[in-house]
Structure 1
Amino acid sequence: MNNLKEIINKINELYIIKRSKYLVLNNKGNYITTDTSKGGKAFPLNDYIVQRHLEGKATFGVFSTKRASKFICFDVDVKDDLKAKWTTYKVVHSLTEIGVPDNYIHISHSGNKGYHVEIFFNQPIENYLLKEFYTRVLNNADLLDIDYGAVEFRPTANQGVKLPLGRHFKTKGNKRCWYVNYDKRLEPVRSYNYILKIEQMDSRVIYDILVREKDILLEEDVIEVDKAEEYIEQKYKPLPIYKQNIDKEETVEQIENILTNGLSMTGTRNNSLFKLAKYFKWKGLSREQTKQELLNWMKWQDTRLYTSKWDICLKDIEHISTYVFANDVQLTVEKSEVVITYNEILQVIQTCKSKNEKLLAYCMLIHSKRYSNQSGVFYMTFEQMAKASGLAEKTTRRLIKKLVEINAIDIVERNQKQEGTHKKKPNKYKVNIKEEKENKQIFTIDIENENYSATFSDCVIYLIERKVLKVMLPRRQYESIVV
């Protein structure tokens, strides 16, 4: 290798973000973790160690930091060679289908079995976002639960991944892990120079994909109640990590901390701007006002924490503010504890006629308290209504019409098309149940899942005396609630 130094520099650029901790593959094919932060005589991961890796004298792997990574690896761990290739093709197809340009997708042989499908970024991306991206790609490829192997997420702070172009000492002949040619049935590219052609993708591509995919998960073809009989349930089931555009790392308090204290680490500028844009929209600001607030915030950030030129920052602010408003991206903060007041449950009982109407209104009230924006508006799919109430989807579609007629709820927005698709978003609702300023009688619900119906009877009985209920409700309704 005449250009050894150049190749070492490229590995540093693409793969290495943490030098104090790395993997060493011994001659028996077992990995040992070296962590210089814990003391001892080991050296940090340096150029000499990378050179030994390339020369085949030792094999090393890398970890991410606790917060972020410079690349993502889909580790196809499948023993059967044909199935491994087929799985790798499915991963690549899913990546391109979801929006990753194919020239940024690179594949190498993992050595013992399977392949590494990798994408590299020009700025580090937080691990929880990469894990979310990985889950979405695998779900799209139908590879989340396979019985012939696994496609694993790498690297993490605790699970490293082997560097390419080294030898795997457990294989016959100490097989070298070359990059492979996707267009030639994954044949090895027996050249170290391949790595020099790899380019890092703009991190904003992943960021935009995650935003778009979260929105798509909220889509639902809206069908008129009269045609509910013809409704065909969608095959795709959103994973818990995607539900309602919720991100457990994303709270009002966390975003307000970003607003007050600014950037805390490199590689988070775009993510912070996007969170702030959603926050300003949630507060009721217009697109132009949001854009101005983002600009004001950006002006006082520490320039040591971002490398982009100012004109790029301005373009990003324009892009983010436009995207958030054009796609109606919401800041939706989940609550794990909900309080129902006496006045609220009384309105549910008095306004709604049938027990199922009461039950669905109650469930939508809880859902609104968990997920609504500052104006009380929230998304709720018919599938979520069914899960929350225990009723059939067909029934919830029929009941929604009745709840609107009696003014228990408003449909704030319906039949809105998802930008760039033929599909429609789920309706937006607002519950017309008012909470009094002073409510001494309250019922607290600790939310463990999306089924709210189990607490309905307990809430009613706790807040309203039985003798009062007996007067208010038809006999069968009273008995179904009390008994």
Structure 2
Amino acid sequence: MFKNQNIIQKFNQLYIIKRSKYLILSDKGNYVTFDKKKYENAKYLTDFTVYRHLEGKSTLGVFATRRASKFICFDVDIKDIHKAKWVTYKVHHALMELGVPKNYIHISHSGNKGYHMEVFFSEPIENYVVKEFHSLVLTHAELIDIDYGDVELRPTAEQGVKLPLGKHFKTKGNKRCWYVDYDKGLEPVRSYNYILNIEPVQSATIYDILNREKDSLLEEEVIEVDNTDDYIEQKYEPLPSYKQNVNEDETIEAIEKLLSEGLPMQGTRHNSLFKLAKYFKWLGLSGEQVNQELINWMEWQDESKYSMKRKDWLKDIEEIVEYIFLNDIQLTVEQKEIEVSYNEMVQVVNICKSKNEKLLAYCLLIHSKRYSNASGVFYMSFNQMATASGLVEKSARNIINKLETNGLIEIIARNQMVTKKNGAFETKKPNKYKVNIQTKPDSNVFKIDSELEYKDSFNSCMVNLFTTDVLKELLPRRQFESIVN
């Protein structure tokens, strides 16, 4: 008999906002909706309902109100267990990149092969804001309209979500939906007490993330612009990914320390392998080479610092490498200070004819300084180019071809198709580029703050690096006037 009243109260605190409407999955495997507004005899959700959920007598699901919710659940509904696992990792990674600290992200089995990923709020958040946040995360994780499943938003006022720690009576053996450990390959945490350590994130954090990102990812309005000299207010905008905080555990120094010293403690094996895989890929190794380097590294690790059997961690390495190369996951080598030099911009100005060519070249130059690998190669999607420059994707595509023709960039890889195991087309990888700009010591530089908390622009860089007289000599009249004005 379940007697821990603290756990019942934790359920009340985290999950329950509406007691007049809820779901019950009976031990027969049937869902029943209790709705006081529709059925006068329906009972309210009580502590006894939660008690029966924890006892495994019936399973509880909750709704949001028509106005707000206490939490967001990313319902990973994917039949293939491996894809479900990797999509869960992608959503988790996207949440952290956007600014949700890891200790506020909680994952549980949904009952079948999927997962529920939840973030709880200190104060209820309006449903339309929760919906925007859900869209932002899926966009950031590149999971919009995937063809092998869904990552659905739950709960809403109309669609409830089944709560963890109960039983899923539609599965063989009526499996209990435990929370899982992200650092241990989503292994179940077979303890009710996990929930007692869950704390909600400050609701202001969610609003701050949306306010920072919505212009580029949620409400972006792009104006079609002819590639002409008289378009005078074309500003460079920082990409959303530039604004992320630098993860101190993923600096080159930290990863090389991990490489030489090994696993620091139990529960870090999976994340360590993931970081090292990104590092080896950044160095330019192939997928096969990365796989072998990770195996070599694991062979000398202290076995007291991980519990997984050899055949299991070999499989985990294979899946990590496949995921990183399939999705082109990059190691973000975030320099503390990015500088664009006078010499570099002279080359941009001399090589590129129109202002939009100069603008896109400037965006590529900054992106390469932040995200290129040890060989100077980086990838940048046309969507990122459009977001950074303000150009529409069609214009960016046309200009890229011109920049390649005039030699300012080299396209290392383009139109790389990703196929499924049966050979069918699945998707395309972003193109990979290298900027062919000579760099040399230069005291005349335009410094860019690492967090890009500023209203910077291509124009600002130009007027900071060049005097008015020099600009007048370098640029056509209309370009000069648009920049100086």
Instruction: Tell me the TM-score range normalised by the shorter chain.
Output: 0.5 to 0.7
CA positional deviation for 1:352? 0.8
The answer to whether residue 268 in structure 2 is matched with residue 268 in structure 1 is yes
* Aligned amino acid, residue 470 of structure 1: K
CA positional deviation for 1:261? 3.1
SS where residue 428 of structure 2 aligns?
coil
CA positional deviation for 1:415? 0.5
The answer to whether residue 80 in structure 2 is matched with residue 77 in structure 1 is no
CA positional deviation for 1:23? 3.5
2:359 corresponds to = 359
The answer to whether residue 83 in structure 2 is matched with residue 99 in structure 1 is yes
1:194 corresponds to = 174
The 1:360–1:288 alpha-carbon spacing in structure 2 relative to 1, beyond 3 Å, is closer
TM-score (norm 2): 0.56
On the 8 A contact 2:75/2:151 being kept in 1, the answer is no
2:9 corresponds to = 25
CA positional deviation for 1:414? 0.4
CA positional deviation for 1:459? 1.1
The answer to whether residue 449 in structure 2 is matched with residue 446 in structure 1 is yes
The answer to whether residue 122 in structure 2 is matched with residue 118 in structure 1 is no
2:391 corresponds to = 391
The 1:447–1:315 alpha-carbon spacing in structure 2 relative to 1, beyond 3 Å, is closer
Deviates more, 1:268-277 or 1:138-147: 138-147
CA positional deviation for 1:311? 4.0
Give CA deviations for 1:184-227 in whole Å, capped at 9, x if unaligned.
xxxxx9xxx734799989988769xxxxxxxxxxxxxxxxxxxx
* Aligned amino acid, residue 78 of structure 1: A
SS where residue 250 of structure 2 aligns?
coil
On the 8 A contact 1:120/1:199 being kept in 2, the answer is no
The 1:318–1:434 alpha-carbon spacing in structure 2 relative to 1, beyond 3 Å, is same
1:224 corresponds to = none
* Aligned amino acid, residue 109 of structure 2: E
Give CA deviations for 1:431-478 in whole Å, capped at 9, x if unaligned.
111210x211111122656999x4211111111121111111111111
On the 8 A contact 2:413/2:431 being kept in 1, the answer is yes
1:432 corresponds to = 436
On the 8 A contact 1:59/1:162 being kept in 2, the answer is no
SS where residue 263 of structure 1 aligns?
coil
On the 8 A contact 1:92/1:117 being kept in 2, the answer is no
2:102 corresponds to = none
Q: How does 1:262-411 map to 2 (within 5 A)?
A: 262-287=262-287, 289-317=289-317, 320-321=320-321, 324=324, 329-335=329-335, 337-411=337-411
The 1:269–1:201 alpha-carbon spacing in structure 2 relative to 1, beyond 3 Å, is closer
SS where residue 293 of structure 2 aligns?
helix
The 1:381–1:57 alpha-carbon spacing in structure 2 relative to 1, beyond 3 Å, is closer
The answer to whether residue 170 in structure 2 is matched with residue 181 in structure 1 is yes
The 1:96–1:243 alpha-carbon spacing in structure 2 relative to 1, beyond 3 Å, is farther
The 1:364–1:61 alpha-carbon spacing in structure 2 relative to 1, beyond 3 Å, is farther
* Aligned amino acid, residue 477 of structure 1: Q
Root mean square deviation, CA, Å: 5.4
Deviates more, 1:252-261 or 1:320-329: 320-329
The 1:79–1:284 alpha-carbon spacing in structure 2 relative to 1, beyond 3 Å, is closer
2:457 corresponds to = 455
> Unaligned 5+ residue runs, structure 1?
9-18, 33-54, 63-73, 102-115, 155-160, 165-177, 183-188, 208-238
* Aligned amino acid, residue 471 of structure 1: E
Structure of larger gyration radius: 1
Q: Distance in 1 between matches of 2:273 and 2:118?
A: 18
CA positional deviation for 1:260? 3.0
On the 8 A contact 2:363/2:385 being kept in 1, the answer is yes
The answer to whether residue 477 in structure 2 is matched with residue 475 in structure 1 is yes
On the 8 A contact 1:287/1:322 being kept in 2, the answer is yes
Give CA deviations for 1:30-86 in whole Å, capped at 9, x if unaligned.
549xxxxxxxxxxxxxxxxxxxxxx97995999xxxxxxxxxxx9753369xxx9xx
Give CA deviations for 1:359-412 in whole Å, capped at 9, x if unaligned.
111111111112211211111122211111122222212111111111111111
On the 8 A contact 1:24/1:61 being kept in 2, the answer is no
2:257 corresponds to = 257
Q: Distance in 2 between matches of 1:431 and 1:404?
A: 10
On the 8 A contact 1:279/1:331 being kept in 2, the answer is yes
* Aligned amino acid, residue 25 of structure 1: Q
1:42 corresponds to = none
What is the aligned residue count? 347
Q: How does 1:145-164 map to 2 (within 5 A)?
A: 148=157, 163-164=165-166
SS where residue 99 of structure 1 aligns?
helix
On the 8 A contact 1:377/1:430 being kept in 2, the answer is yes
Deviates more, 1:135-144 or 1:298-307: 135-144
CA positional deviation for 1:118? 2.8
The 1:312–1:473 alpha-carbon spacing in structure 2 relative to 1, beyond 3 Å, is same
On the 8 A contact 2:362/2:458 being kept in 1, the answer is yes
The 1:299–1:309 alpha-carbon spacing in structure 2 relative to 1, beyond 3 Å, is same
The 1:241–1:440 alpha-carbon spacing in structure 2 relative to 1, beyond 3 Å, is closer
CA positional deviation for 1:271? 2.6
CA positional deviation for 1:135? 5.0
Give CA deviations for 1:404-429 in whole Å, capped at 9, x if unaligned.
11111111110101242432112111
On the 8 A contact 1:327/1:419 being kept in 2, the answer is no
CA positional deviation for 1:340? 0.5
* Aligned amino acid, residue 9 of structure 2: L
SS where residue 445 of structure 1 aligns?
strand
Q: Distance in 1 between matches of 2:311 and 2:165?
A: 36
1:37 corresponds to = none
CA positional deviation for 1:272? 1.4
TM-score (norm 1): 0.56
1:225 corresponds to = none
* Aligned amino acid, residue 378 of structure 2: F
- Identity value in percent: 43
Give CA deviations for 1:93-117 in whole Å, capped at 9, x if unaligned.
457698339xxxxxxxxxxxxxx97
On the 8 A contact 1:336/1:370 being kept in 2, the answer is no
Deviates more, 1:140-149 or 1:472-481: 140-149
